[in-house]
Structure 1
C-alpha cells in the first residue's frame, strides 16, 4: 500500500510541476537523455518540446552546460555545433577545442544519436589519436557542414 501511495504522490508531483525535470517523460523518443537539474531549472510539467528548446537555449548561452547532459538529442548537439561555428567565425585563430571535447565525450555512449552524418565514425576512427589531432579532424568535418542547423525556434 505504501509503495502504491508513494508512486501516486510522485506521479502527481511530477504532473503538477513541483519537481525539477532531469529527463524527458517516460516513453518519449529521447527518454535516455538526462541532464543535471541543478544546471537546468525546468519544471516537470513542461512539455517535452519546450524542455528541449530550453536546454538548447541554455547551451547557446553557456556552452559548457553541455557537459551536464547525457545522451544529448541531435537538436542539442546542433546547438553546440552552432556555437562552435560561431566561435570559429568570430575568432578563427582561437579554438573551440573545449567544445569539441564536450562533443567527443557525448559520443562515448552508443545511445547518443548522431547529429552530423559521419561524426560518430570519425570519433571512433580517431580514438587512438592525440587529442589535438582528433579535434582538428572533427573541426575539418564540421567545416563542411552548413551553418545554421535549425537549433532554436523563437
Structure 2
C-alpha cells in the first residue's frame, strides 16, 4: 500500500509543478541536455520550450551558471554568445571566462553546434580562445554572433 501512495504522491507533485526537473523529457530532441537542479529551479509542469526559455533567461542574468549545464542547446549557447558579444562591445576586451565555458561545453560529443562549424573550429584550434573568436567574428551577421 505504501509504494502505491508514494508513487501517487510523486505523480501529483510532478503534475502540479511542485517537483523540479533537471533535463528535458525523454524523446525530446535535447533529451541529453541536463542541468544541476541546485542552480535551476525548473518546475516539472513547464513545456520544453518554456524550460529552454527559462534557462536562457537565467544565463543572460547570471552567465556563470552556464557551467552547470551539460550538453547545452543551441539557444542556450546563443544566449552565452550574445553576452560575450555585449561584453566585447562594452569593454573591448575578450571575456575569457565566458569563452572558456563555451569551449568546455564542446568537450561532450553530444553538444550541438549553435553556429555551423563551431565544433570543428574549436577542435581545429585546440580550444584556443582567440582562434575561436576569429571564427565567430568571420560568421555572417545573420547568425548574430561576435563581430571581431
Which TM-score bucket, shorter chain as reference?
0.7 to 0.9
Secondary structure of 1:49's counterpart equals: helix
Give CA-to-partner distance per residue, 1:74-96, whole Å, 9 cap, x none.
0000000000111111111x221
Unpaired segments of 5 or more residues in structure 1?
none
1:51 aligned residue: 51
Corresponding position: 1:104 with 2:142 = no
Corresponding position: 1:35 with 2:29 = no
Separation (CA, whole Å) in 1 of partners of 2:144 and 2:3: 45
Q: Which ranges of 4 or more aligned residues in structure 1 deviate by more than 3 Å? A: 1-12, 147-150
> Larger relative CO (CA 8 A, sep 6+): 1 or 2?
1
Normalising by structure 2, we get a TM-score of 0.86
Secondary structure of 1:52's counterpart equals: helix
- Please show how residues 3-152 of structure 1 align to structure 2 within 5 Å: 7=7, 9-92=9-92, 94-127=93-126, 134-145=128-139, 146=141, 149=144
- Contact kept in structure 1, 2:42 and 2:51, CA below 8 Å: yes
- Contact kept in structure 1, 2:115 and 2:143, CA below 8 Å: no
- Contact kept in structure 2, 1:71 and 1:112, CA below 8 Å: yes
- Contact kept in structure 1, 2:14 and 2:45, CA below 8 Å: yes
- Contact kept in structure 2, 1:82 and 1:148, CA below 8 Å: no
Q: CA RMSD in A?
A: 2.2
Separation (CA, whole Å) in 1 of partners of 2:24 and 2:117: 27
Q: Work out the number of aligned pairs and report it.
A: 144
Unpaired segments of 5 or more residues in structure 2?
none
Normalising by structure 1, we get a TM-score of 0.83
Separation (CA, whole Å) in 2 of partners of 1:86 and 1:109: 26
Q: Which has the higher mean CA deviation after the structures are superposed, 78-87 or 117-126?
A: 117-126
